[in-house]
Chains A and B, each alone.
Chain A
Amino acid sequence: MIDHDDDQDHSEMSEVASRVRALETLLTEKGYIDPAALDALIETYETKVGPRNGARIVARAWSDPAFRARLMTDATNAAAELGYSGRQGEHLVAVENTDERHNLVVCTLCSCYPWSVLGLPPVWYKSPSYRSRAAIDPRGVLVEFGVALPARKEIRVWDSTAELRYLVVPQRPPNTDGWSEEQLAALVTRDSMIGVGLAISPGDAGALR
C-alpha cells in the first residue's frame, strides 16, 4: 500500500487525484467549503500538530512529578496545559510503561489515533497488517518493530474502540539525569508514544525510529 512511485502506478494515482480535484472544485462551487480553509488544515498538520507535541508532554512528565500525576489522571487537561487540545484528542488517556508492563495502542475498527498530540497517523498504523495483528500477536508485532520484550514483561493492548485516544508514556532512558525537557523530548519518538518503540537511549540517537 506504500507507493512513492507515481509512475509505476500512474493510472490509479491519477484517477484518485482527479476525483479529489473534482470534489474540491464541486464543493467550492457549491459554496460548501472555503478552499483557503483546506490550505489552513494542511498547514496545521504539516507544521503545528505532530508528534513533537506528544514528545513535549512526555518530557514534561519525566521531569515534573506533579505534571505526571495530572497527566495520568486527566490527560486531556494536562495536554491542554501545554497548549495541545482539540480534534481527535478531546478525550485523551495516558498509559505508562514500567519495568513490568508495556502498552501498545491500536484501532482495529478504523484508525483512531490521538491527532492532537501525535498528528496524523502513519500508513502502517492504518494498515490491515497492523490492525489485524496488534491484538492477537502484540509480542510478534513488537519484534517487527525491532522491540524484543522478555516474556515476563506484560503487554497491555489498548484497542481504541470508542472516543478515548491513548498516548503511551515510554520509560525514561537511563543516564539522562539532569537533562532539560528539551533534551529529553528529543529522545521521545512517535513510535514510542504508540507503543511500538522505546524512547531513544543516549548514544543510540538515530538508531531507532
Chain B
Amino acid sequence: MNGAQDLGGMMGFGPIEIEADEPLFHHAWEKRAMAVTLAAGACGMWTIDRSRFTRESLPPAQYLTKSYYDIWITALERLLAQTGMADETEISAGRAMSPPLTTPNKLMAADVAAALAKGTSCSRPLSRPARFAPGDAVRTKVMHPTTHTRLPRYARGKLGVIESVRGAFVFPDANAHGGGEHPQWVYTVRFSAAELWGDGADANSTVSIDAFEPYLERA
C-alpha cells in the first residue's frame, strides 16, 4: 500500500538526528516493547509480513510521529484484536477477561537463545526455474496495490538490471493477507540514480532493491 512507510525519495524530514554513544534503549518501556512484540509474534498467530502490513496501515500522521517501538506496540494491539487473542476491553484494561485461544507456539525463557539463533528462514524450494538471469534488463511494474507490497514507489516503472538471483522466498504480497506463501524468485535489481531520480541525480551512484519476480517484466 502507498502508506507512510514508503519513504524513499520523500523530502522535508530535516537532518538525520545522529546521537553520539546512543544507548540501546532510550526508555525502560522500549525494552519491554521490543521483547513483548517478539514473544507475542512467536505465538505463531501471524506472519512477519502481516505484522509489517499492520504497522504500515497506521494513519500516516501517526506513523510519521510515533517512535518506532510505539509503532510496534500499536500494531501489536491491533493484531491481538484482529486475531481474537484479546479483545479491545482487555487490551485497554491490561487484564484477561476471557479464556485464551490455543496458539501454535509459546516462547519459553529456556528456548529464547535457541529460537533467536535459529531465526525464521523465509527461503523456500521452488521447482520452476528463475525467469531472469544476471545481466538481464528488466522493468519494474507500475502498480498501486492497496495491500502489502515490497516494491517501493520510487522504483516502480523503472528500468534496471538483474545483478543477482538470490533464491526463492515467501512472497510477502500474498503471505501478509493469509494468501499462503506462494514462493517467488528474488532478484537484486540495480538502477542508475538517473533512472530513478532524473535530471540532477548523482552521476556516480546506483540503488538496488530486492525484487520478487512478479514485480518484474523483461525489458
* B-binding residues in A (CB < 8 A): 1-4, 6, 13, 16-27, 29-34, 36-42, 44-46, 49-50, 85-91, 93, 106, 108-111, 116, 119-120, 122-124, 126-139, 141, 144-145, 151-164, 209
| Interface size range on B against A | 35 or more
Cα-based distance from A3 to B67 in the complex (angstroms): 10
Interface residues of B in 72-105 (CB under 8 A from A): 73, 76-77, 80, 85-86, 90-96, 100, 103
Question: Could you mark each residue 1-33 of chain B with 1 if its beta carbon is under 8 Å from any beta carbon of chain A, else 0?
Answer: 000011111110111111110101011110111
B19–A132 touching, CB < 8 Å: no
In this complex, the member of B16, B34, B107 whose beta carbon has the largest number of chain A beta carbons within 10 angstroms is: B16
Q: Which 4 A-B pairs have the closest CB atoms?
A: A22-B94, A108-B8, A162-B210, A36-B109
A29 to chain B, nearest CB (A): 4
Q: Quick one: closest A residue to B92, CB to CB?
A: A22
CB-defined contacts of B92 to chain A, threshold 8 Å? 22
CB-based contact B26/A32 at 8 Å: no
* 12 extra interface residue pairs, beta carbon distance < 8 Å, beyond A4-B26, A41-B38: A2-B19, A16-B70, A30-B86, A32-B40, A85-B119, A91-B167, A93-B166, A109-B5, A120-B24, A134-B8, A160-B210, A162-B210
Contacting pair B6 A109 (CB below 8 A) = yes
Q: Which partner residue on chain B sits nearest A137 by CB separation?
A: B202
When the two chains form their complex, are residues A86 and B118 in contact, meaning their CB atoms are under 8 A apart? yes
**CB–CB B166/A156 < 8 A:** no
**Does B85 contact A32, Cβ atoms closer than 8 Å?**
yes
Q: Is the CB of A108 within 8 A of B6?
A: yes
Residue of A nearest to B190 (CB): A156
Interface pair A16/B29, CB less than 8 Å apart: yes
**Is A17 a contact partner of B208 (Cβ separation < 8 A)?**
no
User: Shortest CB–CB separation between residue A152 and chain B, in angstroms?
Assistant: 7
B39 & A129 in contact (Cβ 8 Å cutoff):
no
Which single member of B15, B29, B73, B95 contacts A26 (CB below 8 Å)? Answer: B95
**Known contacts being A159-B152, A161-B211, A209-B20, is A42 close to B119, with CB within 8 Å?**
no
- Separation in Å of the A186 CB from the closest CB of chain B? 16
User: Are A159 and B27 CB-contacts (below 8 A) given A129-B14, A129-B15?
Assistant: no
A163 touches B36 (CB 8 A): no
CA distance A153 to B10 in the complex (A): 25
Distance between Cα atoms of A172 and B65 in the complex (Å): 39
Q: Which residues from B are CB-within-8-Å of A154?
A: 204-206
Closest residue on chain A to residue B103 by CB atoms: A32
| A24 and B33 alpha carbons, distance in the complex (Å) | 9
In the complex, chain B residues whose CB is within 8 Å of the CB of A136: 8-9, 154, 196-197, 201
Q: Which of B149-196 contact A (CB under 8 A)?
A: 150-152, 154-155, 166-167, 169-170, 172, 186, 188, 190, 196
Contact B209 A87 (CB under 8 A): no
Q: Is the CB of B210 within 8 A of A44?
A: no
Contacts of B207 in A (CB 8 A): 135, 156-157, 159
Contact: A19 with B77, CB < 8 Å?
A: yes
B206 touches A124 (CB 8 A): no
When C-beta atoms are compared, the residue in chain B nearest to A45 turns out to be B24
What's the minimum C-beta distance from A196 to chain B, rounded to whole angstroms? Answer: 9
Choose from B112, B152, B186, B201 the contact partner of A164 (Cβ within 8 Å). B186
